[in-house]
Amino acid sequence: MTLIKTKHNRRSFLKVSSLAGGGMVLGFSWLAGCKPEGTAEAVEAIIMPDNWYDVNAFLKIGNNGVVTIMSPNPEIGQNVKTAMPMIVAEELDVDWKNVIVEQAGLNTESFSRQLAGGSQSIRQGWKSLRMAGATARRMLMEAAAKEWEVDVAELTTASGVITHEGSGRSIGYGEIASSAAGIEVPEEVELKDPKDFKIIGVPTKNVDGKKIATGQPLFGLDYQQEGMLIAMIEHPPAFGMTLKSMDAEAAKAMPGIVDIFTIDTYPEDVEKQWSDTSAFSELVAIVGNTTWEVLKAKKALKLEWEGKDAIENTSTIDQELEKRLLAAADDPARSRKDGDPEAAFRDAAQVIERTYSGPFLAHNTMEPMNFFAHVTADHAELVGPIQTPEFMRKTAAARLGLPEEKVSIMMTRMGGGFGRRLYGHFGIEAAAISQKINAPVKLIYTREDDMTQGTYRPTYKVTYRAALDADNNLIGFHVKGTGAPESPVFNNRFPAGTVDNYLAENNSRESNISTGAWRAPRSNFIAFAEQSFLDEVAEAAGKDPIDFRLGLFDRAISDPVGDSNDYDPERYAGVLKLVKEKAGWGQDKPGVHRGVSAYFCHNSYVAQVVDVVMEGDKPKIEKVWCAVDCGIVVNPEGALNQIEGGIVDGIGHALYSNMTFKDGKPEQNNFDKYRLIRHSEAPKEIEVFFVENGVDPTGLGEPSLPPVAAALANALARATGERLYSQPFVGTQQVLG
């Protein structure tokens, strides 16, 4: 039996009231002051505020028994709009078919932390979501017990019905909900034993699935409002440039064009939030009646740009990163040292050293950036796809000269985020344009606008060294990383804690190329480098790559080095053992070349085996085997989609994707030059195995992406005899063209 307090601190609350016409509404905290350990680490490189705030929501039970759960978190395809209400419904003990989920708009009075990022939604809300459902169920039971004059312990619930077995009486939640609204909130409630779950763990369709499939307006690009104009922007062609002159006379005279003007999105007196990453503040805005008319006018503009002070080239950035790698870390806080690594390398029988690099990457969400804004003298209405609505509102209020309470934001479903929509400058641009034109406006980016504005995954470079003794034991390990603008190295992650002599160092380089979180920040690159290198070390030591890794974990389990290791070695080793078993590792198959990888991020553990076959001189991915330890899986269907999507995404970007710059100008501006994975290039099969350990849920949207690039690289090395050290694999590596 698990008891949970219904109140944790002054920020937590459970409030109950009656619905007009009968029924009850329960206001509750989705986090209820439960702040999991390691929160700051969990959000990785995303710059978050100092505190995670409680997420509050409303659970309504109508007099007909229908349950409505408001979903305040932005939905970017991670399926929290389905999974989080499932948790509430489980403890409420209601039939899922009687649950309605509604998207809430930004409302800091009723909700907090309305943010999608860091794969933390389920992990953060697990206990409080359960508490809310269990509290409502308990209050309904107490109301029924009072009406029937029986002990509440004699009552049971199932599918939204309360039953008293002794008298044979039963009553639906809707019939007793109004009475339950008068019951005092209990100080603690009992949670279900996971073995009794009826909703959690059952594959459940996306609550928006039918609407998506039938093309109903859910996404920002779908949004329409009467009298709405269309806006597009032109920004400088290169980082560091500004507008010198504009000839817009011909464009203004074109059919359907309302106005063309310059606008400064972020004047100096506007305080930026962390989410306001934007390379270009001064823009040209084109406003008209239809998308096609605005697009034609945009192309007819005659613009002259200037500015040479902050030009960046990919080659010079790469050269500078190489210099940074040679330099020692300049900040002790960014390094970790165990034992005497210098002596270990000096005395080693064999030293293996390899350097890996990764390029800038665009996010390339299926739905380009867009936002609707209607700004009047005393109010601003904003509607669109944003992961950080609260921070957008703060900046919008400052930019428009309005109180925050006069700025409303409604989140639409997003056609992809991957971190790109954490940075909401496009919403501020829409608001500024609407205020200038004094009309409702929907701003739409073209694909070229989106790819050339940023915001990009940083570029990275890292060098690994390993020291082996005469018996091929690992006695020293050294990793040094740098990047523009951040290092990808996590000092306390594996193999920290497994080697007596260990050194991790970080350096960085500033760049005027705008960067930000990209799916599984930092992990998306460093997992490739680390796990590729460990394969080579295992090979040099004459050991099987899985057995070599398991040997390191044995050390971390029995006698760990240091006390700051941020992973659980038993769970880490567990996914490796599981994927080894399921894939039949060691049972060689003719013509099949295998690679393995394992990584920990967002509080979850993933191990993968990739099978590659050669068709002529071209490698094909036959199958990916994937073992995942993310604790209890709330919705297996959504979880499977997340894992499979992360694998395909990781493979595609490792093989093909690359953003390069010449004189500060992006050299790729659409998919004719920026290569994404195609259907025929995806794995023919992906088989996923979830560890069933009953542990509270952890992150799921990002952890399957980081390790797959290394598993693929290790498989390709066995298939071709050539190791891969730079991404993308295709185009930069001779072996793959």
CATH number listed for the domain at residues 567-737: 3.30.365.10
pLDDT in tens, 380-406: 999 999 999 999 999 999 999 999 999
Q: Is the pLDDT of residue 310 over 90?
A: no
Residue 329: the pLDDT is 65
pTM, entire model: 0.92
Residue 302: the pLDDT is 97
CA distances from 157 to 106, 165, 195, 386 (A): 34, 11, 16, 39
Distance CA 709, CA 706 (A): 7
- 501-506 and 474-484 strand pairing: parallel
Q: Which fold has domain 220-308+363-453?
A: Aldehyde Oxidoreductase; domain 4 (3.30.365)
CA distances from 201 to 137, 631, 699 (A): 20, 11, 16
Distance CA 292, CA 635 (A): 42
Distance CA 413, CA 731 (A): 35
pLDDT in tens, 436-447: 999 999 999 999
What residues does CATH 3.30.365.10 cover in the chain?
A: 2-213, 220-308+363-453, 567-737
Mean pLDDT of the chain: 91
Q: Is the pLDDT of residue 37 over 50?
A: no
Average pLDDT estimate for 564-575: 97
Residue 65: the pLDDT is 87
Q: What is the largest CA-CA distance in the chain?
A: 85
For residue 399, the surrounding DSSP H or E stretch is: helix 389-400
Q: Is the pLDDT of residue 346 over 90?
A: yes
pLDDT in tens, 417-431: 999 999 999 999 999
- The answer to whether 258 and 287 are in contact (CB under 8 A) is yes
Residue 43: the pLDDT is 34
Q: Is the pLDDT of residue 48 over 50?
A: no
pLDDT in tens, 501-520: 999 999 999 888 999 999 99
In the CATH hierarchy, which top-level class contains the domain 2-213?
A: alpha beta
Average pLDDT estimate for 368-386: 97
Please report, rounded to a whole number, the percentage of residues in the chain having pLDDT higher than 90.
Answer: 78
Q: Which of 62-76, 112-126, 291-305 has the lowest mean pLDDT?
A: 112-126
- The answer to whether 112 and 55 are in contact (CB under 8 A) is yes
Distance CA 591, CA 615 (A): 10
What is the three-class DSSP state of 375?
strand
Give the residue with greater pLDDT, 329 vs 715.
715
pLDDT in tens, 683-733: 999 999 999 999 999 999 999 999 999 999 999 999 999 999 999 999 755
- 229-234 and 282-288 strand pairing: antiparallel
